Amino acid sequence: MKNYDALAPFQVLGANIQNILDAFGAFSVLAGKIMLDEQLGTQAADGSILFDPEKWYPLANNLRAIERIQNEYGSIVIRQMSAALLRNAKFPPSVRDIEGGLASIDVAYHLNHAKNGVALFNPTTGQMGEGIGHFTCKPVAGKKQIICETNTPYSCVFDQGLVLAMAHRFQPTATLVHQNPTQCRNSGFPSCSYSVSWK
């Protein structure tokens, strides 16, 4: 298991963790047990795990839970989990296409994470805090292609699921390819680069 101690000052919004858990459907009890083990959420009388949508939960605990879930249930499950984050997401009216959608991920990511209980993006001032990496997505001129680079503490496959789900929201034919799988955060590299293309 990775060491997440450096991320102790950072938190993630409860609504995000609930969306991840909900992606498990009938298997949410299994994932919920792991989350409880990592001191995330509370157990209701019916055995379900609940998160306060407005509460900040320790990011390190969340990352440990996701890593354990990936180790026990595989990468496909992690992709489904990260894609679930967008299922109920609301977007400003200005986000109308795949380029705008992918460009908006970084702001949404920082809005849903905090440092010492203060959100890492302030929509009023436009100020963005640092410490949890970024999603940087740039269109390729003259092509139906966008290159996204991520250097977040989440796993490569988690970020892939999030980027592809956002792309599918606007372009159902979109595909994602890891540009250089040998240069991946899984192998100790600082970032991963994905090519998103569509018909």
* Residues 100-111: tens digit of each pLDDT: 999 999 999 999
> Domains of the chain: which residue ranges?
5-198
Give residues with Cβ within 8 angstroms of 113, minimum separation 6: 10, 11, 12, 13, 59, 119, 120, 132
Distances (CA, A) of 145 to 81, 126, 142, 179, 199: 25, 27, 9, 12, 9
CB 131 within 8 Å of CB 10: yes
What pTM does this model have?
0.92
Q: What is the pLDDT of residues 153-178, one digit of tens each?
A: 999 999 999 999 999 999 999 999 99
pLDDT over 80 at 8, yes or no: yes
Scanning the structure block, which residue is given the tokens 């997505």? 137
CB 69 within 8 Å of CB 77: yes
Distance, in Å, from the CA atom of 18 to the CA atom of 85, rounded to the nearest integer, reads 9
Q: What is the pLDDT of residues 41-96, one digit of tens each?
A: 999 898 888 999 999 999 999 999 999 999 998 898 888 888 888 765 666 678 89
CATH number of 5-198: 3.90.1520.10
Q: What is the pLDDT of residues 114-166, one digit of tens each?
A: 999 999 999 999 999 999 999 999 999 999 999 999 999 999 999 999 999 99
**CA Rg value for the chain:** 16
- 132 three-state secondary structure: coil
